[in-house]
Copies of this chain bind each other. A is one copy, B any other.
Amino acid sequence: MPSTVKLAAYLFTRLRQLNISSVHGVPGDYNLVLLDYVAPAGLHWVGNTNELNAGYAADGYARINGVGALVTTFGVGELSAINAVAGAYAERAAVVHVVGTPELAAQDEGRLIHHTFNDGNFRRFAQMHAHVTVAQASLRDPEASPEMIDDVLSQCLLHSRPVYIEVPMDLVEANVSAARLQHPITVPEALPDPHWEDALTALLDRIYSAKQPLILVDGETRALGIVDAVQALSRLTNWPTYTTVFGKGLLDETAPNFHGIYKGSYAPAAAQDYFKSADLVLVFGPHFSSTNSYSGTAIPAASAAVLVTDSTLTTPNQTFANLPARFLLTHLLQTLDAARVPPAAFTPPPLPPPPDTPAPNDLIMHSVFWPRVAAAQLLQAGEVLLAETGTAAHGARDLALPRGARAFFPATWLSIGYMLPAAQGAALAVRERSERSGQKGAAPPKAVLFIGDGSVQMTVQELSTIIREGLDVLVILLNNAGYTIERVIHGLRAGYNDVGAWEYGLAGRFLGAGAGFAVKVQTWAELEDALSDERVLRGRGLRVVEVLMGREDVPEGVLKVLLEKEKERVGAEAEVKHSAATGATYHARRKREIGYGLSFSTDSLYSNVKRKLH
């Protein structure tokens, strides 16, 4: 290795060493030269259509790959992406945000250049990013830069949260020492508290003495780097294991002691009974936001909860700090005496009875849609399920995953539009992973995205990147002509909850895939056809299944309760309209409202599905 390298080469080599294979972003005047160093470092450049989407994609990539990277341009680019960076911060995706900035002299002299407020202040955007990143480096000096880069990257890994690196144009090609590149960047191993064995003993005592134990896996388990250990513990104890919505997809869902998402006050009675009277609930990576905890009702009682966070173990009567989760789990598994682990007497609640099979011409309701989708078993090992905030995420949370599949569900940030670019990033990451593992023959793993029309509209152009990158993504688009989750929260019939009527089936053609594959379904028979269509099940590239659903139809659970409340609030008149909404009258009205007119039946894109109604 040469003794010096260009600064940009240093930075991208580091990213490559962190197992990043692709970098997401958008070019701009202040990062063009920087981008010349992406490919030579062995990285693939994914040019997204805009920076918010690039940020979302980098986040999706990071959640699969461990780390992801985003390159934007000063001011306009970085601020466009900041909401995505904030989401990565909130839900702990390790995204390295690299910003190409103006040359140092321009900054120091406060020159009035573009992408500023024409006032000579160049520090605002970095100050804004300090709110949404765990570490920042404003590179100014080639000598100091390698260490600064390394420090920031190691913070990124340590916290599994975004960091921010400013690279002034005139530093891109500065020579820096290559010496540090010999040593990989590692997460600083925190020294555990000298009394850590007390903590371990306390934990073991709780485990050995548990009478009614349960394991609850939350989403930060991934950020803590203890997924495998927790899986091992679940297997070893054979204790009933639940996840939160955020934790879904981290553990093997086919294990006999895995019971899905614990839904708090919406869980079946048998599950609630067990959970509430448990004397030990081992929670890994807790992230008890109201959204992720069914408004707190899925949080275990303090008298039973044992929480494992980044560096703290909390038991009902003690808190042990300075105890890194990974260290604790390693020692726990080494020490645990399987023979002393008490069994759990848990009888899983019976599965809900399958809904009656609808008639072929029936419209598609959530109540029958999700069980039918579950039966279709759309996912394979190594693939990713993504369900966007909205009715989609509520319905999809009951889909069981094959072993080794992953899932993205909204936890706390809940920025709609996130899931589509995240699907691009995630699909790329699983494809790269499968390529690395050398499974040549098998079809590359795909992503399956469930998403509402309102959310699709936010970031739709990223379908273009999915197409350009040749990624295998199946989009199941729930078209209910607007923001139905908002309708049930407030404004059931308010115009502000409507969105424009689009011809979603044209997405692939418009955005570059040529004819692409798209199908629109509105009846049970059409759904049946689509879900047994080979192109849906095993096709390649981008595929879109548009499902027409009722404006006021939502899955069972929280949303149904909200719907009933909101119906009551808006009064009886609404009630009448809604009852009509379940029959043929509604269907005709809906067709009119959401604008599917005659053009529908003449569009050859949909000709593969016979339409029975009209």
* Interface, chain A (partner B; CB < 8 A): 27-29, 32-33, 35-36, 38-39, 45, 47, 49-50, 52, 75-76, 79-80, 82-83, 86-87, 89-90, 111-118, 124, 127-128, 131-132, 287-291, 412-417, 457-461, 464-465, 467-468, 483, 486, 489-491, 494-504, 506-507, 509-512, 514-515, 595, 597, 599
Is B502 a contact partner of A412 (Cβ separation < 8 A)?
no
Is A491 a contact partner of B128 (Cβ separation < 8 A)?
no
Measured in the bound complex, the distance between the Cα atoms of B86 and A128 in whole Å is: 12
Shortest distance between the CB of A256 and any CB in chain B (Å): 32
Cβ–Cβ < 8 Å partners of A460 in chain B: 460-461
Is A112 a contact partner of B288 (Cβ separation < 8 A)?
yes
Measured in the bound complex, the distance between the Cα atoms of B36 and A607 in whole Å is: 42
Nearest neighbor of A50 in chain B, beta-carbon distance:
B458
Is B115 a contact partner of A467 (Cβ separation < 8 A)?
no
Please judge, given known A-B contacts A32-B489, A510-B503, A511-B502, whether A413 and B115 are in contact too, CB under 8 Å: yes
Is B502 a contact partner of A415 (Cβ separation < 8 A)?
no
Q: How many copies does the complex hold?
A: 2
Shortest distance between the CB of A168 and any CB in chain B (Å): 15
The residue from B82, B291, B458, B465 contacting A114, defined by CB atoms under 8 A apart? B291
* Max chain B Cβ within 10 angstroms of own Cβ: one of A33, A49, A111, A506: A49
Is B90 a contact partner of A491 (Cβ separation < 8 A)?
no
Is A500 a contact partner of B468 (Cβ separation < 8 A)?
yes
Cβ–Cβ < 8 Å partners of A494 in chain B: 32, 35-36
Cβ–Cβ < 8 Å partners of A28 in chain B: 486
Is A27 a contact partner of B76 (Cβ separation < 8 A)?
no
Q: Can you list 29 A-B contacts with CB-CB less than 8 angstroms, sorted by A residue number? A: A28-B486, A29-B489, A32-B486, A32-B489, A45-B495, A47-B496, A49-B457, A52-B52, A75-B86, A76-B87, A89-B117, A90-B116, A112-B288, A112-B290, A113-B291, A114-B290, A114-B412, A114-B413, A114-B414, A116-B289, A118-B287, A118-B412, A128-B131, A461-B461, A500-B511, A503-B512, A504-B510, A512-B595, A514-B595
Is A27 a contact partner of B491 (Cβ separation < 8 A)?
yes
